Structure 1
């Protein structure tokens, strides 16, 4: 009869438990071979040699702002149909050509940009580029395809608008930015229902433009050769106009929270927000670490307080949201109605405490390791590296910023984090929204600083 050792037995020797190996030094990616250039048509291209697997990742970001009230609805339909047929290929042919090279392409849109992302085996790189060029210059937006995708969007939006998180997000955006186009993250279903194929074709002709756009390639490529192949494939995509950027957002100022009534709900959504700084600001590494101490990861002060200690919520976090002209801080949590007021009180308390009681050396060491480790993990794959670079490229940054950032995080001192805590996390800088049932929140107004919509 075969016997097996238990885990405890495997972990012990005659001299006692086996010691755990020490953590190795975190090392940032170095020596990445890359090219960062602008093609004749005005498209910026960042190509990076990362030969972990014989694949190539592609990320295209086209500025896609609009002031027309129906712009968001048309843009959603365009993103849903740009890859459903061209003058050379119908939907089936697009899917088949990509599948034969182990590839895929997907499109999405937000108030700021139209994004097309995809990948393929290196042997199918030229096919991937050909399908992309075909969609950019020859998308047909057939009536039946537009009608089918439009109906799906109407149904999806109607369902999404009933979700508490969506209601809270829309209320927050309007409270922060009023009627700015940046707030139109999701169009009205009724607006989408009015979009026709002609309107989508017109939008494509007006705003799917290379000048001012960014395309990132990451994979088992030789950067110069990849850029040359890309330039040849996209040579027909040309226009003297520049892709449309969003206007700058107004600076956020601290103030009252807006109460948004939602009758009959048993939960409340708390969203607090304040102005922050862009990645290019020298203070950003300290802000990033201060945010982690406050609520940016599971061992943060906020999570320890209102989730682990008091049990007010399952979900609590803070994050840095990057906007077209900078960044904001967002603190969010969903709570049962009966603990909404206590949870908000503790959130305000932790904001104040971060400045009054600066992070300890232990907290600083923990968040520093977490920030550096998370970044290295996120960029270890071709997929993660491509997505990170695409986000940076839209800010005018490139590979060097990403490679150097772990060193910037490592150099941040506890004093700099304490300064960032005082500057950015003081409760007086925050505004936001509370979404809930007023009848179930009798104590909320006693906290002060809350106004009704």
Structure 2
């Protein structure tokens, strides 16, 4: 082996990945399983339409999800923790705008024992008052501290400005909201939405018939059926007419900046090409925003741009914290970079570098059974199929500088964007 010779570069032509297979439990719950990996470890995800979108009062969705593992009819919180620790397992609960997920990471040989605990958490939580009080106290304190940070203030004001305060995507939590949460709300929310009729299961790891039979044993019964059809409410987006919002913080050393606009979800035909354009602008360390505003001007330690995709909408945003004295200059440079994308073609070498980076990231997104499960959930949640990823790869390879310039003209007009500055301006 000649170590002085650089290894050859091989172009990524197609990404190979293992697709999820589908079966059903006896009670009709769909199960998508990915048999992959070399380790005897399994991840079981139970997904419910029980995110923020479905709650009637603030914090009910996230609090229900967080406290399900803090006590059941059979086990208290300490017993649950001790059981998972004993078996080397890990339990996680999470909520986004639309979905609530409970996840179990466990060794294959202890799947039976750990699924029994997971069943208790999912079907029979009791939401102990003491645990609720501790949760409320801690979360309220955390939020109070967060609200002193300019980045938090800017993010909250930006989301309100884009979607409106009454929209789930734009609604923000205040510390006093935690005081209004009670155990009856949690129990009612759980009873309504955490049931077999509103559940989907994704399993990843070394999967065989024994694994599927155990899942059927604990979650395939008809003892936790619910309503067949969950009402999905509609909310109107009400974007503010203000183009600049300033949250003054006179003692701020840095100012947080958010510049962006409502965009669309990943089901939109322009989504993939916009991801390429966004990567050029601010989606990786070598991006134009980083090169100009961090490396050249030294206004910040970090700046980037992101496209967030949700089921019903999405948004584009440029994010940074800059020195308070150079806030206006930083915003000018951001607008200069946006203008450049609208008026000039991206050089072929730069676009080639970005494409290579993005394809490499795509490869990492399919590395291992749990990443494969995330990839499946990432399309299934939007009603998309695996061909989305094939199209993603092909679009990255085929998109031209001219196409990206047209998209910049259409979507990256800073005069149509909202600026939020928290700190000094």
TM-score by length of 2: 0.89
Deviation string for 1:21-70 (max 9, x for gaps)? 11234365536252135657564432112223221223333222568997
Does the C-alpha gap of structure 1 residues 68 and 287 become closer, same or farther in structure 2, counting only changes over 3 Å? closer
Tell me the CA shift for residue 286 of structure 1.
1.2
1:254 and 1:361 map into 2 onto residues whose CA distance is: 38
- Once residues 231 and 291 of structure 2 are traced to their aligned partners in structure 1, the CA distance between those partners, rounded to angstroms, is 43
| Structure 1 position 360, deviation (Å) | 1.3
| Separation in 2, partners of 1:40, 1:73 | 33
**Pick aligned residue for 1:365 from 337, 352, 364:** 352
Which residue of the other structure, out of 414, 419, 422, is the alignment partner of 2:409?
Answer: 422
The equivalent of 2:125 in structure 1 is: 139
Distance 1:327 1:105 in 2: 30
Matching of residues 21-32 of structure 1 within 5 Å:
21-26=7-12, 28-30=14-16, 32=18
Contact in 2 for aligned 1:307/1:314 (Cα 8 Å): yes
**4+ aligned runs moved over 6 Å, structure 1:** 67-70
Is 2:185 the partner of 1:170?
A: no
**Hey, what's the Cα distance between the residues in 1 that align with 2:6 and 2:385?**
38
Question: 1:309-328, aligned counterparts within 5 Å?
Answer: 309-328=296-315
Greater Rg over alpha carbons, structure: 1
Please name the residue that 1:450 is paired with.
Answer: none
**Equivalent runs, 1:257-276 vs 2, <5 Å:** 257-276=244-263
* 255-264 vs 61-70, which moves further: 61-70
Aligned to 1:410: 397
Change in CA separation of 1:226 and 1:361 when aligned onto 2, cut-off 3 Å: farther
Q: Does the aligned pair in 1 maintain the 2:53–2:168 contact within 8 Å?
A: no
Could you say if the C-alpha distance between residues 318 and 256 of structure 1 is closer, same or farther in structure 2, counting changes exceeding 3 Å? same
Q: Is the 1:319–1:329 Cα contact (8 Å) retained in structure 2?
A: yes
Relative distance call for 1:218 and 1:298 in structure 2 (3 A) is: same
Quote the offset at 1:272 in angstroms.
1.0
Q: 1:199 to 1:391 in 2, by over 3 A?
A: same
* 2:320 aligned residue (328, 333, 341): 333
| 1:90-239 equivalences in 2 (<5 Å) | 90-183=76-169, 187-222=173-208, 226-235=211-220, 236-239=223-226
Given the alignment of the two structures, is residue 256 of structure 1 paired with residue 255 of structure 2, yes or no? no
* Farther-moved stretch of structure 1 (28-37 vs 190-199): 28-37
Q: Deviations over 1:197-221 (max 9, x none)?
A: 2332222112324445443222111
In the alignment, structure 2 segments of 5+ residues that lack a partner are none
Deviation at 1:252, TM superposition (A): 5.7
Match of 2:333 in 1: 346
Following superposition, the deviation at residue 370 of structure 1 comes to 1.0
Equivalent runs, 1:30-69 vs 2, <5 Å: 30=16, 32-36=18-22, 43-65=29-51
RMSD after superposition: 2.9
Q: Deviations over 1:356-409 (max 9, x none)?
A: 112111121111111111121132023333233323221123444335532332
Q: Is the CA contact 1:270–1:433 (under 8 Å) kept in the aligned structure 2?
A: yes
TM-score, with normalisation over the residues of structure 1? 0.84
| Structural mapping, 1:286-297, within 5 Å | 286-297=273-284
CA distance in 2, matches of 1:41, 1:251: 41
Deviation at 1:251, TM superposition (A): 7.7
| Alpha-carbon distance in 1 for matches of 2:330, 2:169 | 27
- What is the CA-CA distance between 1:306 and the residue it aligns to? 0.9
Q: Deviations over 1:249-284 (max 9, x none)?
A: 528688612222223222211101123332223322
Q: Distance in 1 between matches of 2:388 and 2:136?
A: 40
CA distance in 1, matches of 2:210, 2:342: 51
Q: Report SS of the residue matched to 1:315.
A: strand
Match of 2:75 among 89, 99, 108: 89
Q: Is the 8 A contact 1:294 1:350 kept in 2?
A: yes
Q: Which moved more, 1:407-416 or 1:77-86?
A: 407-416
Moved more, 310-319 or 276-285: 276-285
Check the 8 A contact 1:209/1:243 in 2, yes or no. Answer: no
Q: For residues 159-182 of structure 1, what are the alpha-carbon distances to aligned partners after superposition, in whole Å with 9 as ceiling and x for unaligned? A: 222222211111111111222342
Q: Number of aligned residue pairs: give it.
A: 423
